[in-house]
Amino acid sequence: MDTVSGPSRSGRVAFFVSSLILFMLAAPHARAALLISEVLYDAAGSDSGAEFVELSGAPGTSLDGVRLEGVNGANGEGYTTVLLSGAIPASGVFVVANDAGDGTSTIPGADLIANFTFQNGPDSIVLRDDVGAVLDALGYGDFPAGTFFAGEGRPAPDPAAGSSLARGPGLVDRNDNLLDFQVLEIPTPGVVAGLAPVPLPASAVLLLSGVLALIPVARRRGG
């Protein structure tokens, strides 16, 4: 009697691996991929209408309820909060510019104009979701003993007036501000080289390595 055989063991393992990868990429909340990609907090001349924070993320990601907080390096207290709204546009970047006082900004193509100003270093800017969880953070300047660093890893430099701090090519997030951010003498609000890939947790990488190692074994057994 003819029988219909099921998929081979190697085929089942390959299917499991692909399903696992898709699950791990889709599992995190979409907002978890939001990053601070560029900041200008000290303009050449007046800061009024000339500061900006650029965020990167998947197009369509909602920013409703997300907020930016300025954290004072002297005492660790928040000194300003910017409530965001809208969504990441098709470009993958969203530019928040400060208000010149009349509802306008000198930042071209700003997606949101709000009343804020971020202090020069040493200080930090923290990006939080709608329940207060930290999505990303940037600390900049020299933090001597007794000061408060609210960024990631080590602080980024405190650039000269008119220069910005921007993530390097690919928007890689290594959770270290010193490694991830570079000084741009000519700021580029709204323009980035590309979106960052969503990094897999270390535990997931180890699990994947073990599962992938099963595939050659299954093939050798011919199952």
pLDDT digits (tens, 9 = 90+) for 38-76: 999 999 988 889 999 999 999 999 999 999 999 999 999
SS3 16: helix
Classify each residue of 186-202 as buried b or exposed e, where b means 16 or more C-beta atoms within 10 Å of its C-beta.
Answer: ebebbebeebbeeeeee
* Separation between Cα atoms, residue 56 and residue 108, nearest integer Å: 17
* Separation between Cα atoms, residue 218 and residue 18, nearest integer Å: 16
What is the band of 23 on the pLDDT scale with cuts at 50, 70, 90? very low
| Whole-structure pTM value | 0.73
pLDDT digits (tens, 9 = 90+) for 81-131: 999 999 999 999 999 999 999 999 999 989 999 999 999 999 999 999 999
Contact 68, 82 (CB under 8 A): yes
Give me the residue spans of the domains in the chain: 9-27+201-221, 31-184
What is the band of 3 on the pLDDT scale with cuts at 50, 70, 90? very low
Using the predicted structure, report yes or no on whether residue 208 has a pLDDT greater than 60: no
Using the predicted structure, report yes or no on whether residue 10 has a pLDDT greater than 60: no
* Separation between Cα atoms, residue 105 and residue 2, nearest integer Å: 75
- Neighbouring residues of 66: CB distance < 8 A, sequence distance ≥ 6: 31, 34, 84, 127, 128, 129, 130, 135
Residue 154: DSSP 8-state: S
Contact 119, 72 (CB under 8 A): yes
Using the predicted structure, report yes or no on whether residue 28 has a pLDDT greater than 70: no
pLDDT computed for residue 192 by the predictor: 79
Quick one: tokens of 38? 């560029």
* Separation between Cα atoms, residue 68 and residue 48, nearest integer Å: 18
pLDDT computed for residue 9 by the predictor: 55
- 93-98/52-56 β-pairing: antiparallel
Quick one: tokens of 2? 């003819």
| Mean pLDDT, rounded, for 153-159 | 97
CATH, range 31-184: 2.60.40.1260
Using the predicted structure, report yes or no on whether residue 5 has a pLDDT greater than 80: no
Contact 51, 117 (CB under 8 A): yes
The amino acid present at 189, given as its one-letter code, is: P
| Mean pLDDT, rounded, for 1-19 | 50
Quick one: tokens of 33? 């991929």
